Amino acid sequence: MMSGCTGFQSKYWRALGLLVLVLAACARGPSSGSEGSGSEPPAATSSPLVLTAGQPPEKGAAAPPPGQAATPARTYSKPSEAELRQRLTPLQFEVTQNAATEPAFQNAFWNQHEEGLYVDVASGEPLFSSRDKFDSGTGWPSFTRPVDAERIKSLQDRSFGVVRTEVRSRAGDSHLGHLFDDGPAPTGQRYCINSASLRFIPVAKLEAEGYGAYRKLFAGAPGAAPAGASSSAATGAATNSCTNPAPGQAAGCAATLETAILAGGCFWGMEDILRKVPGVLETEAGYVGGTLANPTYEDVHHGTTGHAEAVRIVFDPSKLAYADLLENWFFRMHDPTTKNRQGNDVGTQYRSAIFFTSAEQQKTAEAVKLRVDKSGKWPRPIVTEITPAGTFTRAEEYHQNYLVKNPGGYTCHYLRE
Q: Which residues are catalytic?
A: 192, 266
Instruction: Please provide the size of the chain in residues.
Output: 417
Contact 178, 253 (CB under 8 A): yes
Other C-beta atoms lying within 10 Å of the C-beta of residue 285: 23
d(CA 243, CA 241): 6
3-class DSSP state for residue 349? helix
Which residues, at least 6 apart from 18, have a Cβ–Cβ distance to it below 8 Å?
A: none
What angle (nearest 5°) sits at the alpha carbon of residue 134, between those of residues 132 and 138?
A: 135
d(CA 20, CA 186): 62
Strand duo 385-388 + 352-356: pairing: parallel
Contact 265, 412 (CB under 8 A): yes
Other C-beta atoms lying within 10 Å of the C-beta of residue 143: 26
Q: What is the Cα 363 distance to its own chain's centre?
A: 30
